[in-house]
C-alpha cells in the first residue's frame, strides 16, 4: 500500500540553527499536508501543498512539494524553543485519507 | 472555527468491557471522519474512514468487529472498542474533513484509553 517515509526521526538543534525534515512517498500524492504535534497534544494543521513544485512560506517555515509530487520538505530557519514538537507530513491518499509519515521530533536547546 | 471535540478525554476500563468514544465537529459539518490510534512516541495510524450514513472503511489489520464505528450524522462519529484488552490501550484521535471539499483535516484532542 501507499507509504510515506519521513526522516530524520529525531533532530536536536541549538536555538538559532536551521532544521529540515523530509518526506518521500512510494506513489504520487494528490497533496501533502504538514502537521505539528506538541508533547501531549494533538496534531495541528500547518499547511497544504497541492501543485507540483509548489513552495509556500509561513514566517520562518518553508514548505516544498516536489516536481513529481512524491516528496516534500519542511525547513525552519533560525529555530526557536517554541518550535519544539513533532512534525508530521501526511500524503493525500486516493480516497481522501491521509497517510502519515512517522514524524520528526525536534528538540531545541536554548 | 473548525473545532473537533472528543469525549471522553481519558478513560480507564477493565479488560473485557466496551468503551465508546465520541467525536464531534462543533461548528462545521463533516461528511468524512477518520479514526487514528497513536502509540507513545509513534506516528498516527489510520484505523478507519467513516462516511456519514454508510459503513466505515477499515484499514488492513484493523478488526471491524472489535472497533465499531458509527457515523450517524454530519457532526458525530463514534468508535466503540469492544471487549477491550490491555493491548488496546492507546491514544485514539479522530479527525474531520468539512463538507466544503477542503483536504484539510481537523483533529480532535484525542482520547487516552487505558485497559487494566
A78 touches chain B (CB under 8 A): no
A97 in contact with chain B, both atoms CB, cutoff 8 A:
yes
* Mutant choice from A50, A98, A103 vs B, greatest count of B C-beta within 10 A: A98
Establish if B99 touches chain A: CB-CB under 8 angstroms.
no
Is the Cβ of B60 closer than 8 Å to some Cβ of chain A? yes
**pLDDT tens digits, B22-50:** 999 999 998 889 999 988 878 888 899 98
Indicate whether A11 pLDDT > 90.
yes
Distance CA A30, CA A51 (A): 9
Whether A1 and B43 lie within 8 Å, measured CB to CB: no
CB neighbour list of residue A51: distance below 8 Å, 6 or more residues apart: A65
Check pLDDT > 80 for residue B102.
no
Say if residues B57 and B64 touch (Cβ distance below 8 Å). Answer: no
Percent of chain A surpassing pLDDT 90: 76
pLDDT tens for B88-97 read 999 999 999 8
Rounded to whole angstroms, how far apart are CA atoms B8 and B105? 20
The pLDDT mean for chain A works out to 92
Among partner residues A31, A41, A102, which is closest to B43 by beta-carbon distance?
A102
Q: Is A95 an interface residue toward B (CB < 8 Å)?
A: yes
Q: Are A55 and B9 in contact (CB under 8 A)?
A: no
Q: Would you call A44 and B60 a contact, using CB atoms and an 8 Å cutoff?
A: no
Please give the average per-residue pLDDT across A85-101, as a whole number: 84
Grid cell 468539512 in the structure block, residue: B98
Distances (CA, A) of A91 to A27, A49, B92, B107: 10, 10, 20, 16
pLDDT of residue A95: 64
Side by side, the strands of the sheet bearing A19-25 are: A4-7, A19-25, A71-76, A61-65, A55-58
Measured CA to CA, the distance from residue B16 to residue A83 in angstroms comes to 41
Q: Which position has the higher pLDDT, B90 or A98?
A: B90
Euclidean distance between CA atoms B34 and B30, whole angstroms? 10
User: How crowded is residue B8: how many other Cβ atoms within 10 Å of its Cβ?
Assistant: 13
Q: Which of A104, A92, A87, A2 is nearest to B105 (CA)?
A: A92
CA distance A9 to B109: 23
Output the pLDDT for position B104: 77
User: By C-alpha distance, which of B105, B59, B37, B5 is closest to A34?
Assistant: B105
Q: Label residue B55 by pLDDT band (50, 70, 90).
A: confident
Mean pLDDT computed over every residue of chain B: 91
- Please determine, for residue A10, whether its predicted confidence score (pLDDT) is greater than 80: yes
pLDDT digits (tens, 9 = 90+) for A26-59: 889 989 999 999 988 888 889 999 999 999 999 9
**Mean pLDDT within A8-13:** 96
Q: Which residues pair with A12 in a beta bridge?
A: A107
Amino acid at each position: 500500500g501507499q507509504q510515506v517515509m519521513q526522516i530524520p526521526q529525531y533532530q536536536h538543534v541549538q536555538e538559532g540553527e536551521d532544521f529540515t525534515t523530509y518526506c518521500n512517498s512510494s506513489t504520487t500524492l494528490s497533496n501533502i499536508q504538514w502537521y505539528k504535534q506538541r508533547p501531549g497534544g494533538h496534531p495541528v494543521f500547518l499547511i497544504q501543498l497541492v501543485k507540483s513544485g509548489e513552495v509556500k512560506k509561513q514566517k520562518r517555515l518553508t514548505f516544498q512539494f516536489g516536481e513529481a509530487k512524491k516528496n516534500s520538505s519542511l525547513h525552519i530557519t533560525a529555530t526557536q524553543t517554541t518550535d519544539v514538537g513533532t512534525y508530521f507530513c501526511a500524503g493525500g491518499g486516493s480516497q481522501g485519507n491521509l497517510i502519515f509519515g512517522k514524524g520528526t521530533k525536534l528538540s531545541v536547546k536554548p | 472555527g473548525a473545532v473537533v471535540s472528543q469525549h471522553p478525554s481519558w478513560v480507564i476500563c477493565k479488560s473485557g468491557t466496551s468503551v465508546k468514544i465520541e467525536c464531534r465537529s462543533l461548528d462545521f459539518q463533516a461528511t468524512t471522519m477518520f479514526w487514528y490510534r497513536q502509540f507513545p512516541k509513534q506516528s498516527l495510524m489510520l484505523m478507519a474512514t467513516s462516511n456519514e450514513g454508510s459503513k466505515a472503511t477499515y484499514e488492513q489489520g484493523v478488526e471491524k468487529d472489535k472497533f465499531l464505528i458509527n457515523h450517524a450524522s454530519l457532526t458525530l462519529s463514534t468508535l466503540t472498542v469492544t471487549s477491550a484488552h490491555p493491548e488496546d490501550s492507546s491514544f485514539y484521535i479522530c479527525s474531520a474533513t468539512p463538507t466544503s471539499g477542503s483536504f484539510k483535516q481537523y483533529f480532535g484532542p484525542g482520547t487516552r484509553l487505558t485497559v487494566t
